[in-house]
Structure 1
Amino acid sequence: MVRQSQSFLSQLYALTDFVFIQLVFLFSWWLKFKSGLIPYENPLPIENYALWSVVYGGIAILLSYFVNFYTPKRKKGFSYELFTIIQVYTISLLILLSFLFIFKELDISRSYLLLFLVNNMLVISFYRYMMKTTLKKLREKGYNKQFVLILGAGSVGKHFYSNLIQHPDLGYEVVGFLDDFLVKHESGFDTFKPILGKVDELEDILQKLLIDEVIIALPLNAHRKYGRIIGICEKAGVKTLIIPDYFDFLPSRPYFDNFAGIPLINVRDIPLDEFRNRFLKRAFDIIFSLAAIFITSPLLILIAIGVKLTSPGQIIFKQERVGLNRRTFMMYKFRSMRVQAENSSDKQWTTADDPRKTKFGSFLRKTSLDELPQFFNVLFGHMSVVGPRPERPYFVEQFKEEIPKYMVKHHIRPGITGWAQASGLRGDTSIEDRIKHDIFYIENWSFLFDIKIIWRTIINGFVNKNAY
């Protein structure tokens, strides 16, 4: 419905971002080296800096496209844009620093780059806010307004109308409805949005009224009428869009796939189905897990010694879990309980005062240090750093019958931490709420979302009252 206008806005945002980055470069150069407000020593010629300013602008634009920053997110406020701007421009600078190191540009002023980064974030945020506010006010005043006719005044049409009037800034106005079974005022709609007639009167309505788009919101049993409706709309030069009567079963962002020349509706849109996204996430997992293992290696050795000294048995506890595509794998943890009979723990939850735990094991669980060996699971490809937490097969079989959409979590690799855990849903918390968070993560994955979850996990700490 708004794809063409949003595509234009996306391109406009990208071009304007790049222009502003170059203007900020000039301003930062003057502020640092010409204003006399900041001390400096023997700066390089401006041409040296200008080249890397262009490179930085290219990196920022590409990264913005990669994380879908230019894709409109109507339900997100400006705070979301501000957070994304900070992340994108900071990561872009880190990438630029890597290039400077590779090309041995060691004389570029680091204090200038920091000033450049801060000014970029301030200016881009300000102009984005002003543009967003201006567009909203113009559309609310009726500029560039698009007139919409809805076919079907039942539950689907009513739901669409209710959602559309909550977004006056989009510039769409519903002129009325066509319906075969309801008459004016019977549907409970605002009297200013009447039922204008029956669906068969569409051709006459399009000739009498200025209509830009027709929304087909008819029930499934009216499917036979679609061909005639679309033919009438195309003859009148009016765009046609269809809301499927089964939209409640579709994800927040459904899309059409193509198989053997036949269009198919993909019921579960998963960004990680794309190869480039899977490659990026897997590369990050390998680098992050190697770094984590290297950094925590002294701690791993100390914990291993502690486990061995405090109770007899193996240091590493291996337990079967269900992972990607419902395949099982052995998940590693530092042993926090006394040695038990094989599989005896596979059907039991751990409780707060569980007698099976050792004192040292209780400390490991409370601080989540028992999960450090899972970075080896990440390295081996069983898990990801971020993703839904894996569960034991016994409970998976139980939950898939009790919790709606529980098995959706197995469309991606399980993680050491996840959106549910970063939101405080650990241990003895609602399984339903955790699944809702997991599905939201699966459908809205981005690289920056992973970074946000990792950062949130670190900031909130590894100690949790529900972790036992």
Structure 2
Amino acid sequence: MANGVDSATASPSVPRPRRWQARLPGRPAERAPAHVVLRRVNAVAVLLVAVEALAAVVASARLGLDAGWTAVVVAALLGVRAGRRLYRRRLWLSWFQDLPRSAAATATAFALVTVIALVAPSAEATSAQWAVLAFAALSEPARLAVFAFGRWCRRKLRRCDRAIVVGAGKVGVDLVRAMQAHPEFGLLPVGFVDPEPVRDPASLPVRLLDGELADEIVRLGVGTVVLAFSHARDSPVVESAITAHRLRCTALVVPRMYELYQDGPDVERLRSYPLMRLGTAPTARPSWWLKRVFDLVLAACALVALAPVLALCALAVLLESGRPVIFRQVRVGMDDRTFVLYKLRSVRMSGEDDSQVRWSVVGDRRVGPVGRFLRRTSLDELPQLWNVLRGDMSIVGPRPERPGFVRQFSAIHELYWARHRVPTGLTGLAQVHGLRGDTSIVDRSRYDNYYIANWSLWLDVKILLLTVGELVCRRNR
């Protein structure tokens, strides 16, 4: 079990955060309806992929390439262009703005085809290189037409993403008016969210919404949340961005000192205002499925390999304190859903079960030598591999906590509730940095939210390696 010195003052009577903050545990955020998700499909990107794939096939056919070399050319071109984010979602459909990136991607694909030709010489290698150049001649006019068609659809057919602006100050109002005057940027403003608007709501170009942001996103079918400046004492920008991520919305942020902000890979431009596009939620990325596959394989293999160890530990628990060997406890997982967590029992049974309200068993006389050994070596956590197989947990993620403590910590510790955006884990970034046992809840929450914001498969691998090192060397204990 985990503990934290900051929890000493935790109490159920502490007031909950203000209503404009994202949802707290016990109130899972609703998922957007299927028709809303379908509406958010990036039609321009789909059309770009289609016309460029067709251009690559036509260029290869005109130069007489066989099926093998055609596949190489198409894969090289589309793969490189996808890697250079030419098929990204964007507000500004500008062919001129995208031309340098497109040319660089084509040059990279040409170099890649050349390397393949050197490794696997063929009579058609030169034709494959010419096919890449022919692709450029065909695809650029097609891209120009796609962008023009996309702008026309946004203006005439109103194929725009519904947007909520958080912050009803001058910047927020200017952004809404720009969206209304220039629908070719693809945003249709439907309302403001601001706990302390400085303007008369009647003077705003769109209405001031009085519900929670999560509720309004679902009710209005919103696909984009624009985070401008609010005059509220505690601005809800971070909470709003997390809420947008949990509901699979795009989050665009007006940066501080935006007048001096330069364009970059993750910077959109709405007229004169730069907007930083925040990364998508980890669970919305294709690589998240690889994480789940990795969890299943590793948990299954570990259960098989460690079965003798589990059997010996279970026998030791049985001999020391009798049955039951497995300890079950309700914990809070992703989206505030509860599940039953399994552990090897390390505390002798008594007449009263205080596991849901007692924070730590350090110094508890009910913990015998076997229990202390299991807890010190973390062997008592091994049954949670079954939780991983069931989908309750992941190998790497924020550690799960009991519902009562989740409610208490969410009331006093900033963004503690935000840890539940991803599945909980056997080990996590906080744990490998020494935040186990009687340590700070604030620091754990900060590490957990950092992990979610920067998640990657490599970060999971790094945490696993650090966990093994900590277990072997018994550091931070």
The normalised TM-score by structure 2 is 0.48
The normalised TM-score by structure 1 is 0.49
